[in-house]
Amino acid sequence: MTDILCPTCGRPNSENHSSCDFCGGPLGSEDITSVQNSSLRDDLFSNENPNEPLEPRESMDEASRLDSLFSPDPPPLDSQKEPGDQPPESLNDVSRLDDLIPAPESTEALPEEEIQTGESLDDSSLRDDILGSDDPLQEPKPQNHFPLDNLFPDDISAPELPSQDPLPDSPPEDDQLQEKSSMETPGEDWDFLTEPSSSSGLPQENSPAEEPQGDWDFLTPDPSSEETPPQDLDDPIPDFGSPGFSEDSGWLDMLQDPETREELASETSSDIKKEKNQTDWLDKIKRLDKSTEHVDEDSSFPDWLSVSEKPAEEPEPEPTPEPVPEIQPEPASSDLPAWLQMDGDDESLNEFLRRKDLTNEEYKPKINKEPTGELVTLEDDDEPAADLSDSQHIKFPSWAGNESKKEEIPEDLQFLAGYDPDSPPPDGVDALQIEEEEYFDDLFNEELPDWLTSASSEGVIKPTSEALSQGDLPGWVEAMRPVVESSDLAEEEDYMENYGPLAGIPSVLPAEAEIALDLEKAAKKPLDLITSKSNQEYVNLLKKLIGEENKAKTILRPAPVQTQRVLRWLIAIIMLVTTAGTVIFGGNIETEPPTQAQIQNTGYGALYDQIEKLYDSQPVLIAFDYQPAAAGELHAAAAGVVDHLMEQGTYLSFVSTQPTGPALAENFLETTQEAHRYQHTQQYINLGYLPGESAGLLSFVIAPKKIIPLAFDGSNAWGSPPLVNVDSINDFEMILVITDDPDIAKIWIEQVGTILDDTPLTMVVSAQVEPLIQPYFRSSPQLLSGYVSGIIDSMIYEQILGRPNLATETWLPFNLGIVIAVGTIFIGGLANGVLSIFSRHRSKLIGDTK
């Protein structure tokens, strides 16, 4: 009676058990993971022949394709025993397992059934994924290595499997016939995987007693295993007969113990056993992925393959009553029958393959987080094989490492990482790759021929993780630790100033630079300064300027401006003497009256015409809007005009927007019009001061009686007969503004002149205002009806009037003053100009001399 190793926990069980006594898992059940893993290996080792038809391959079971990789050219045992015979010429990188795939030429020598089987085993699509091209020597493209995803999508369902995996129901005695039929119809090889429940009809918990014990007989060197009766045909677990395994799996037969292999070879294996043998080696692979304790219990491995030093004859451990830990099934496999559920070994192997795959995000952080720990664990597992050669330490082929490295990024996201699927794989090998290489070399290093193992050992990078002990960080990592920075900060904070005003104060910035200059070194440095002539001149100039800083300068006292003061006094004396003399001793100058042509288009001529239109008792408004300082000029200028108005017998109304205006009006009448003897309220009315400037003036224009109800002396301003009918500014016959301010003249023109209808607005202004009121006089419509500017126009006006007045009296001193002013300006200006020229010339000469 042979023991059956539990695929879940690896512990032996009696052959009449369908489930494991230890973990409760099904015995010998082929789960989905095994198929998955085998399919992966098919992907990895598939040999493509472009001339082969694809249909048989597609019908082939996924799990058997891995065996088919080696079946087309199963190395004979002799050849395996004599490695190094004729290595393939096309082998570039012998460390890659894809190089193990025999060349197409070698498949020609195989039997036809074998070739057909191999062809049928190949899945063309998956094969393309691995090889990537028709060229068997071409390296597989990394982007196509996702066999697990391709084989087991989430929506995988059990009904799909029976069509591919017909469960062999023939008795074991018909192994040869079954084998032949399986070769002819390869799609039926794995019926036991697809229809486990229908064929066996036993659920997982009900079938342990019917588990075939011969499935694991080659793993148990117990001689009793040879006497294992034929397996129950209803057993879903195929019999892993050695002959069948050796025939299908080729060089993987080397995994078996020679003795066991011979014993198994003597047994007639049925097709079912053959199918089971095809997956038998996968169980071994799965066990390699188990934890250490599981591996120790797996005594069916040969010494060279065993990962523990426990002898195979070690007594079986007593079954523990512990509850079997439940394995969380995969969501995709939850619907699978019990015999397809993953056991512990499958879970471990699946986990390993998922690491390779990295499509599951759960494994990715684990690998990244604890790479070192895993490496250490692997080393511990490999301790029994420590005496192996260096080539045997090569755990993972480089191409697999590259694949695993590339598969760290999911295929869907590789484009985001800038990964070019067509680009060749990088040459670098990371620690994870080496780790996985160790797994695979445990599997294949013994089967490799010597020529292959020796060649592969040359191009393999020794795992650097062996040199590292756990917890020891490299020096550069130590240097990067932030602890160093914090200690530096602490030192800076503890710094205390030793001198200066901050002496004794901690945590201050040092007064001196921490990195002081090496003065000796700096002094030895030669000065390569090359100065030009201009640079030297600048240096000399700088030295001169610095040197003159210490010298006291004598500041020359400027010469007093006596000449200017004398000139000023001279001008004043001349003006006073001449004007005073002419006023005192002078007289009137007889002048010729202007012609009619000279009067036309002049301001004084227009004013004269306007006054000539007035007659007796017509109200005339006169505004005294000038300062007392301008009284000398404006009194003389307005005297002839006002005299003309009085001559016309008009009723004069005085108003002023200046506070001093009413007084000036009274003074004007007393000084210039005394001959007329105008009486207040009888011939004239002094309305007084009109406040508000433009606003007051505008108000006065609208309603003069309301704005100024009383006269300057408090009497009724509008009670006089000429003013009784005056209700607005337009009721005045003429408006005469006497001003020396251009702004006041402008306000009168803009605020009053625009409102007036037929009432003329005239002005007597200072000579300085004339340029500003000329535009209003010479514009159309004419806002200013006439004006007299200064003494000159007034004197002409008096001449026109024929009544000499104040302007005529001041004409001679005025002209003398002009002559003196012109003479002074001309002489003084000429002298100053000449002096200025000489001064500049002399300064230029002095500058040139210096």
Partner 1 sequence: MNIKIKSPISTAIAIGVGIVVLAGYFIPSMNDIRFILLRTGLVLSAVALLVGIINLLTVHIKKLGAENANSGYSLILVIALLVTLVVGIIDMVQTYLVGQPNFQMTNWVFTYIQMPIETSLLAVTTVSLIYAAASILRKRMDVFSITFFFVILLVLLGSFSIPPATLPFLHVIRDWILRVPALGGARGLLLGIALGTITTGIRILLGTDRPYSD
Note the residues at the interface with partner 1 (CB under 8 A): 564, 567-568, 571-572, 575, 589-592, 627-632, 659-660, 663-664, 666-667, 670, 680-681, 686, 690-693, 695-696, 698-699, 702-703, 706-707, 712-715, 746, 770-772, 774-775, 778, 792, 795, 811-812, 815, 818-819, 821-822, 824-830, 832-833, 835-837
Nearer to partner 1 (CB atom), residue 180 or residue 706: 706
Q: In 3D, which of 680, 610, 619 has the Cα closest to residue 641?
A: 610
Nearer to partner 1 (CB atom), residue 360 or residue 699: 699
Contact 27, 208 (CB under 8 A): yes
Question: What distance in Å separates the CA atoms of residue 50 and residue 107, rounded to the nearest whole number?
Answer: 13
Nearer to partner 1 (CB atom), residue 503 or residue 818: 818
- Nearest distance, CB of residue 663 and partner 1, angstroms: 4
Q: In 3D, which of 673, 669, 628, 633 has the Cα closest to residue 790?
A: 633
Residues contacting 200, CB < 8 A, separation 6+ = 167, 192, 207, 210, 234, 235, 236, 339
- Nearest distance, CB of residue 837 and partner 1, angstroms: 7
How many Å from the N-terminal Cα to the C-terminal Cα in the chain?
132
Give the DSSP H/E element, type plus range, for residue 369.
helix 363-369
Question: What distance in Å separates the CA atoms of residue 346 and residue 327, rounded to the nearest whole number?
Answer: 10
Q: Which 3 state secondary structure label does DSSP give 236? A: coil
Residues contacting 750, CB < 8 A, separation 6+ = none
Nearer to partner 1 (CB atom), residue 542 or residue 577: 577
Nearer to partner 1 (CB atom), residue 539 or residue 570: 570
- Nearest distance, CB of residue 765 and partner 1, angstroms: 13
For 713-733, b/e burial (b = at least 16 CB within 10 A) is eeeebbebebbeebebbeebb
Q: Which 3 state secondary structure label does DSSP give 702? A: helix
Q: Encoding tokens for residue 526?
A: 């030669």
- Nearest distance, CB of residue 599 and partner 1, angstroms: 13
Nearer to partner 1 (CB atom), residue 825 or residue 845: 825
At residue 143, what is the residue type? Answer: Q
- Nearest distance, CB of residue 526 and partner 1, angstroms: 59
Q: Which 3 state secondary structure label does DSSP give 568? A: helix
- Residue that the structure tokens 């002009």 belong to: 818
For 150-176, b/e burial (b = at least 16 CB within 10 A) is bbbeeeeebeebbebbbbbebbbebbe
Question: Would strands 651-656 and 684-689 be described as parallel, antiparallel, or unpaired?
Answer: parallel
- Nearest distance, CB of residue 798 and partner 1, angstroms: 13
- Nearest distance, CB of residue 746 and partner 1, angstroms: 7
Nearer to partner 1 (CB atom), residue 426 or residue 628: 628
Nearer to partner 1 (CB atom), residue 542 or residue 702: 702
- Nearest distance, CB of residue 556 and partner 1, angstroms: 21
- Nearest distance, CB of residue 567 and partner 1, angstroms: 7
Nearer to partner 1 (CB atom), residue 264 or residue 783: 783
Question: What distance in Å separates the CA atoms of residue 112 and residue 263, rounded to the nearest whole number?
Answer: 28
The DSSP annotation for 778-829 comes to: SSSS-S--EEEEHHHHHHHHHHHHT---HHHHTHHHHHHHHHHHHHHHHHHH
**Whole-Å CA distances, 642 to 92, 279, 599, 698, 744:** 131, 141, 19, 24, 20
Contact 701, 695 (CB under 8 A): no
Contact 161, 195 (CB under 8 A): yes
Nearer to partner 1 (CB atom), residue 180 or residue 778: 778
Dihedral angle of Cα 24, 30, 36, 38, to the nearest 10 degrees: 130
Nearer to partner 1 (CB atom), residue 480 or residue 589: 589
Nearer to partner 1 (CB atom), residue 473 or residue 825: 825
| Alpha carbons within 13 A on the beta-carbon side of 114 | 20
- Nearest distance, CB of residue 829 and partner 1, angstroms: 5
Contact 494, 509 (CB under 8 A): no
- Nearest distance, CB of residue 560 and partner 1, angstroms: 16
Upstream peptide bond of 162 is cis (omega within 30 degrees of 0): no
- Nearest distance, CB of residue 503 and partner 1, angstroms: 51
Nearer to partner 1 (CB atom), residue 258 or residue 719: 719
Beta bridge partners of 625: 739
Nearer to partner 1 (CB atom), residue 409 or residue 599: 599
- Nearest distance, CB of residue 594 and partner 1, angstroms: 10
- Within 10 angstroms of residue 587's Cβ, the number of other Cβ atoms is 8
- Burial class from Cβ neighbours inside 10 Å (0-12, 13-18, 19+) for residue 135 reads exposed
- Nearest distance, CB of residue 652 and partner 1, angstroms: 15
Torsional class of 112: left (φ above 0), alpha (ψ -120 to 50), beta (otherwise) = alpha
Nearer to partner 1 (CB atom), residue 308 or residue 602: 602
- Nearest distance, CB of residue 836 and partner 1, angstroms: 5
Nearer to partner 1 (CB atom), residue 484 or residue 827: 827
- Nearest distance, CB of residue 717 and partner 1, angstroms: 12
CA 211 to chain centre: 65
- Nearest distance, CB of residue 522 and partner 1, angstroms: 58
Nearer to partner 1 (CB atom), residue 830 or residue 845: 830
Helix/strand number for the chain, H first, E second: 40, 8
